């Protein structure tokens, strides 16, 4: 994580996030949003060469918050989740992404979560309690070959409104780094909305270029909550 942080209106932000720039008046709309987010990447490292007042940032449809989980056993689970920073422009996303550790560099047991502002990365949150998650499992070998690409593509698809008409149903995404296998999950708001859930799953699988022969599953949060540590049955697969 970026080591230098400062308080800004009650939230922790990185110093790069705190740099002020003029904001454009129109927010991105799908389907052009995701391409605009991606186009910012080559320019991100050069932003500091220009005076802030000369830059016009490209606003996202939603404000997103990065969370970091570290397994500190002296704390209850909720207190192990740390809210790091929030952003609402393409440039601030790339500034954050270019200053944070890659998912593959995290310690075993640690997580990153990226959720819409106001939604906490926990099942009990009002926005999540009726929802579920598309879950992608990656073995240890894939940590060095696929994990970082999968995570970045998931973030770009999410913040760029790449799920099109169903983007409002997406709450956030989580990457878990574990000893035996890593996991990437996209959380949605309503597990019973089959058409929305399935379309989000199809788009995610297409975006990550997952072969048709590999099946990914969707689990309801209530099943995970009621059966902790058990094998959870998928309610949808694709």
Q: Where in the chain are the domains?
A: 5-237
Nearest Cα to 110, choosing from 143, 141, 132, 85? 143
pLDDT of residue 23 exceeding 80, the answer is no
Task: List, as one string, the DSSP characters of 2-62.
Answer: -S-EEEETTEEEETTTT---EEPSS---TTTHHHHHHHTHHHHTTGGGS-GGG-EE-EEEE
Query: Does 174 have pLDDT greater than 70?
Result: yes
- Going by pLDDT thresholds of 50, 70 and 90, the confidence category of residue 2 is very low
Q: Whole-angstrom Cα distance, residue 30 to residue 199? A: 15
In angstroms, the CA 91 to CA 180 distance is 35
The tokens for 226 are 């009621």
Statement: residue 11 has pLDDT above 80: no
The set of long-range contacts for 122-127, using a CB threshold of 8 Å and a minimum separation of 24, is 122/77, 122/78, 122/81, 123/221, 123/222, 123/224, 123/225, 127/171, 127/189
Q: What angle do CA 162, 100, 37 make, to 5 degrees?
A: 25
Whether the per-residue pLDDT at 30 is higher than 50: the answer is: no
3 state DSSP class of 150? helix
Which homologous superfamily is 5-237 in?
A: RNA Cap, Translation Initiation Factor Eif4e (3.30.760.10)
Residue-wise pLDDT for 50-104, tens only, equals 666 556 889 999 999 999 999 877 777 677 899 999 999 999 999 999 999 999 9
| Least trusted range by pLDDT, from 4-18, 126-140, 187-201, 218-232 | 4-18
Out of 41-45, 171-175, 232-236, least confident range: 41-45
User: What is the reported pLDDT for 224?
Assistant: 81
171-200 mean pLDDT: 98
What is the pLDDT at residue 52? 64
Residue 50 is predicted with a pLDDT of 61
Above 60 in pLDDT, residue 22? no
Specify which residues 133 forms β-bridges with: 187, 219
Compute the half-sphere exposure of residue 107: CA atoms within 13 Å on the CB side of its CA.
8
> What pLDDT does residue 75 have?
73
Residue 31 pLDDT > 80, yes or no? no
In this prediction, residue 83 carries a pLDDT of 97
How many angstroms separate the CA atoms of 44 and 90, rounded?
9
Q: What pLDDT does 56 receive?
A: 85
**Mean of the pLDDT values across residues 147-171?**
98
Summarize pLDDT for 199-219 with one digit per residue, the tens: 999 999 999 999 999 999 999
Percent of the chain whose predicted confidence (pLDDT) is above 70? 74
Quote the mean pLDDT of the chain: 83
pLDDT of res. 37: 59
pLDDT at residue 107 in the model: 96
Report field, pTM of the whole predicted structure over 0.85: no
């Amino acid at each position: 994580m970026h080591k230098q942080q400062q308080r800004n209106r009650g939230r922790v932000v990185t110093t790069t996030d705190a740099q002020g720039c003029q904001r454009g008046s129109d927010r991105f709309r799908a389907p052009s949003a995701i391409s605009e987010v991606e186009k910012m990447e080559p320019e991100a490292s050069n932003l500091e060469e220009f005076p802030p007042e000369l830059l016009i940032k490209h606003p996202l449809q939603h404000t997103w918050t990065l969370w970091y989980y570290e397994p500190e056993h002296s704390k209850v689970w909720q207190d192990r989740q740390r809210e790091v920073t929030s952003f609402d422009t393409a440039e601030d996303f790339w500034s954050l992404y270019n200053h944070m550790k890659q998912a593959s560099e995290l310690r075993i047991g640690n997580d990153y979560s990226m959720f819409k502002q106001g939604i906490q990365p926990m099942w009990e949150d009002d926005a999540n309690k009726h929802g579920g998650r598309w879950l992608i499992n990656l073995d240890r070998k894939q940590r060095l070959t696929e994990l970082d690409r999968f995570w970045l593509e998931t973030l770009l698809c999410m913040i760029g409104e790449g799920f099109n008409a169903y983007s409002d149903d997406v709450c956030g995404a989580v990457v878990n780094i574990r000893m035996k296998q890593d996991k990437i999950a996209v959380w949605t708001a309503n597990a019973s909305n089959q058409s929305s859930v399935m379309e989000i799953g199809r788009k995610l699988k297409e975006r990550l270029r997952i072969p048709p022969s590999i099946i990914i599953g969707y689990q309801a949060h209530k099943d995970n909550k009621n059966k902790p540590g058990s094998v959870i049955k998928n309610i949808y697969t694709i």
